Amino acid sequence: MSRRRVTLLGSTGSIGTQGLEVIAAHPDRFEVSALAGGGNIALLAEQAARFRPGVVAAASGSADELRAAVRSALEATGATGATGYEPEVIVGPEAATEVAGRDVDVVLNGITGAIGLRPTLAALRAGATLALANKESLIIGGPLVHDLAGPDQIVPVDSEHSAIAQCLRGGRSGEVRRLVVTASGGPFRGRSRDQLAEVTPSEALAHPNFAMGRVITTNSATLVNKGLEVIEAHLLFDIPFERIDTVVHPQQQIHSMVEFHDGSTIAQMGPPRMLVPIALGLSWPERLEDVDEPCDWTQVQSWDFAPIDDEAFPAVRLARQVGAAGGTHPAVYNAANEVAVDAFHDGALSFVGIVDTVAAVVERHDDARFDAHSVDGVMAADAWARETAAKIVSG
Ligand SMILES: NC(=O)C1=CN([C@@H]2O[C@H](COP(=O)(O)OP(=O)(O)OC[C@H]3O[C@@H](n4cnc5c(N)ncnc54)[C@H](OP(=O)(O)O)[C@@H]3O)[C@@H](O)[C@H]2O)C=CC1
Ligand SMILES: CC(=O)[C@@H](O)[C@H](O)COP(=O)(O)O
Ligand SMILES: [Mn+2]
């Protein structure tokens, strides 16, 4: 594999920082072309001083602030001036989109939320491989992404979809009977709807296995994450919803499975960490060496499996409905959820109120008003859903 130029969008987040860890461990394989963050200018500047990309981008702050932060981060490394490193700096809400398609072989999209859509489209348009963690952009931009993406241009980084892609490696997708997407069940696994009434934001942020950003961690607790992942699996692997199952597997050692039409099932296993899916996103179809520890088969252990409780956690059932309806339904589900998650953390909504709000917004949505085949149409549906969710939250 030749040395790949990598751009990291959301470089200051959980996926982004782990992406840089993989790159730092394989300097012969990767160089950083651009880094894009949101508002954490200090960390972004430290990353720039260490990895020396040609471009550094931030969604907020000012270009002068970012330049100054990079200079002081360089000074802190003791490499002041001597190297003459002065990256191009881009600041503003469209900064990630601007850098996504420039001088790059692989774009790792680790931005959270619907704002990842335009950068995803820019990366695809530029012909880069898209290592996709930002599942929201695929889910809300389904037909748009589908029309732009070439074969194998999108490499899933989401652990379940990376697992399925690994199970399908080498072709034979015509022999697939069903996909089985595993779920941790979140921190509230086993509780009834009544028992969920009083749970707090800090309890919802205690994911049993993964340290992730606030939105995806909350989505794991409501199982909205699993709902999004069922739609993601449908879009990535072109399998109808009725052939995509879910199973709660609290240990998260099996990251997902593929059942074939002869009755055989292939599962992908590993400890619940993101390094392998991220590394594969960057190096696909090759595997890098010694990315993470494997499962330890010398230890006594037991793994559990159970169905999702759709009464306590209706998010997956609802996601199947919006996914099958298509159009701008998934964009509305996602946008309403983003608003409801913020409201929950602000103390304006109960935990069960999150999915109740999403369901109420989905119910009021008139898909005929929006064009799912244009970015503006998708973003108009997204904006409508945000406004409607905010009204419901405020009563
Ligand atoms: N974390 C994980 O293990 C997994 C994550 N994913 C998916 O990956 C994505 C990222 O998740 P995660 O890393 O946990 O989230 P984090 O909240 O940790 O990170 C989000 C990143 O997005 C950046 N960001 C926010 N707004 C913008 C913007 N307008 N332009 C550019 N960057 C922006 C943030 O910057 P800043 O902090 O500087 O404001 C931060 O770097 C999500 O879609 C999630 O569902 C999927 C599977 C696993
Ligand atoms: C690591 C990853 O891919 C996350 O999406 C994680 O799988 C969350 O797990 P649950 O949503 O099943 O809790
Ligand atoms: Mn996942």
- Does residue 44 lie in a domain region? yes
Omega before 285 within 30 of 0, i.e. cis: yes
What's the CA-to-centroid distance between 316 and ligand 3, angstroms? 14
Q: What's the CA gap between 316 and 307, in Å, rounded?
A: 12
Looking at the structure, tell me whether residues 187 and 99 fall in a common domain: no
Q: What's the CA gap between 93 and 33, in Å, rounded?
A: 20
Looking at the structure, tell me whether residues 194 and 111 fall in a common domain: no
Q: State the residue range of the domain holding 369.
A: 172-270+304-394
How many Cβ atoms are within 10 Å of 64's Cβ, its own excluded? 10
Ligand in closest contact with the CA of 10: 1
Confidence (pLDDT) at 90: 98
Domain count across the chain: 2
- Does residue 29 lie in a domain region? yes
- Does residue 290 lie in a domain region? no
What's the CA-to-centroid distance between 90 and ligand 1, angstroms? 19
What's the CA-to-centroid distance between 135 and ligand 3, angstroms? 9
Ligand in closest contact with the CA of 12: 1
Cβ neighbours of residue 92 under 8 Å, at least 6 residues apart? 59
Confidence (pLDDT) at 81: 56
Which of 15, 181, 184 maximizes ligand 2 atoms within 8 Å of its Cβ, making it the mutation to test the pocket?
A: 184
Tokens of 256: 């997902």
- Does residue 84 lie in a domain region? yes
Dihedral Cα 393, 232, 242, 326, nearest 10 deg: 60
Of the three residues 128, 156, 184, the one that is the final residue of a domain is 156
Of the three residues 99, 130, 156, the one that is the final residue of a domain is 156
Confidence (pLDDT) at 170: 82
Helix (H, G, I), strand (E, B) or coil at 109: strand
End-to-end CA distance of the chain: 56
Residue 126 contacts residue 387 (beta carbons within 8 Å): no
What distance separates the 2 farthest-apart alpha carbons in the chain?
A: 64
Q: Which residues of 164-180 are buried (b: 16+ CB within 10 A; e: fewer)?
A: bbbbbeeeeeeebebbb
> Is 96 close to ligand 1, i.e. is its CB under 6 Å away?
yes
Low-confidence ranges of the chain (pLDDT < 50): none
Looking at the structure, tell me whether residues 152 and 187 fall in a common domain: no
Looking at the structure, tell me whether residues 97 and 234 fall in a common domain: no
Treating both helix axes as pointing N-terminal to C-terminal, what angle do 329-345 and 315-325 enclose, rounded to 10 degrees? 150
Confidence (pLDDT) at 267: 98
210, amino acid identity: F
Q: What's the CA gap between 277 and 291, in Å, rounded?
A: 10
Looking at the structure, tell me whether residues 246 and 372 fall in a common domain: yes
Dihedral Cα 125, 63, 37, 4, nearest 10 deg: 50
Question: Using one digit for the tens of pLDDT, what is the confidence trace for 92-139?
Answer: 999 999 999 999 999 999 999 999 999 999 999 999 999 999 999 999
Looking at the structure, tell me whether residues 247 and 366 fall in a common domain: yes
220, amino acid identity: S
- Does residue 166 lie in a domain region? no
- We report the CATH number of the domain holding residue 77 as 3.40.50.720
- Does residue 161 lie in a domain region? no
What's the CA-to-centroid distance between 11 and ligand 1, angstroms? 8
Looking at the structure, tell me whether residues 205 and 323 fall in a common domain: yes
In the block, tokens 């009083």 appear at 198
- We report the CATH number of the domain holding residue 367 as 1.10.1740.10
- Does residue 328 lie in a domain region? yes
How many Cβ atoms are within 10 Å of 357's Cβ, its own excluded? 24
Looking at the structure, tell me whether residues 132 and 97 fall in a common domain: yes
> Is 117 close to ligand 1, i.e. is its CB under 6 Å away?
no
- Does residue 298 lie in a domain region? no
> E strand or H helix at 182, and its extent?
strand 176-183
Looking at the structure, tell me whether residues 363 and 222 fall in a common domain: yes
- Judge if pTM exceeds 0.90: yes
